[in-house]
Amino acid sequence: MNLLKANLSYQAIYKNDSQIPFDRRIIAPPSARRCLVGLDFCIWKICMTYCVALRLKDGMIFASDTRTNAGMDNIATFRKMYQYSIEGERFLTLQTAGNLATSQAVFSKLQQNINLGITQNLHNAATLFDAAQMVGECVRQITTYSQTLAQDTGGFTSSFILGGQIKDQPPEIFMIYPEGNFIKATTDTPFFQLGESKYGKPILDRSIDYHSSLQDALHAILISFDSTMRSNLSVGLPIDLVVYHNDSLAIPVGKRIDENDAYFGSLRDHWADGLRHILSQMPRSPDDYWQ
């Protein structure tokens, strides 16, 4: 089982798809699965993506990495966040993790529905809930179609985060699962993550709540990306960042953070220095800790 010692971490081993817990299928999408020929099990690999979306009292922040791969020798950069907005009327952002072909097909189909003036599309959805239903149905249709083209029915799924605000409606964020169902962020759970979430989640859990300022939340998100990239090479720069102020109905320009971004580099250094300083200032352990 030396394969488990590869550079990428693996989440679990199961003899067949039916043994895979539902929640784990969401965390580690089947697009990341690598089936070994001639062996009666599949290895599920944590998805090479990290996306975060926060809904706070003053606004929302969305951030996605851009790294994807088809093996360690085939790593590329692809955008994983798209907007479907109308200035002054609605702001909608969609993020994704999972099978790249499925994700791109969903993005394209949603935009095509807008361009063709389909009766129900993201530009005429009355509420964010209606928009989430549209995205979920689109995900189901494309995934089902893709699965009919191949014998492997488990490798075509993607998960999505839809967030934004429609005029005269509250700002909302939804996580949309590969099956098309979804959940909504609340004041108790103000953020969602996709992909390689375990390294950044403790930082967000400890530092962010619904009443946090946008500046503090931005710091926490960027540090969560730094921690993830330091611990797992499968997530990397550039990072696509969008900050939205509630009720503005403005279309943010967005920011792409790359390896030459001085501010992000400074935050990473400050965080590392701060951790070392805090550790050095902690009280000495009692003698019985050293027995």
Predicted confidence (pLDDT) per residue in 87-106, tens digit: 999 999 999 999 899 999 99
pTM of the shown model: 0.82
Quick one: which of 165, 167, 192, 191 has its CA closest to 177? 192
> Which mean pLDDT values do the consecutive 10-residue runs of the chain (291 residues) have?
31 36 36 34 50 98 87 77 98 95 95 96 98 97 82 76 98 97 98 96 97 98 97 91 98 97 98 97 96 91
CA 224 – CA 9 distance, rounded (Å): 18
Provide the strand spans (E) within 90-131.
90-98
What residue segments make up the domains of the chain, in order of their start? 2-279
Which residue reads 């689109």 in tokens?
138
Residue from 288, 290, 223 nearest 257 by CA? 223
DSSP 193-258: EEES-TTTHHHHHHH--TT--HHHHHHHHHHHHHHHHHH-TTS-S-EEEEEEETT-------EEE-
Peptide bond into 238 cis (omega under 30): yes
Over residues 3-51, the pLDDT tens digits come to: 333 333 333 333 334 443 333 333 333 333 333 333 233 333 334 689 9
CB 151 within 8 A of CB 114: no
Query: What's residue 72's pLDDT?
Result: 58
Instruction: Report the interhelical angle of 100-115 vs 128-147 (nearest 10°).
Output: 130
Residue 264: what pLDDT?
A: 98
Reference 64, options 239, 198, 254; nearest CA is: 239
Q: Supply the CATH classification number for the domain 2-279.
A: 3.60.20.10
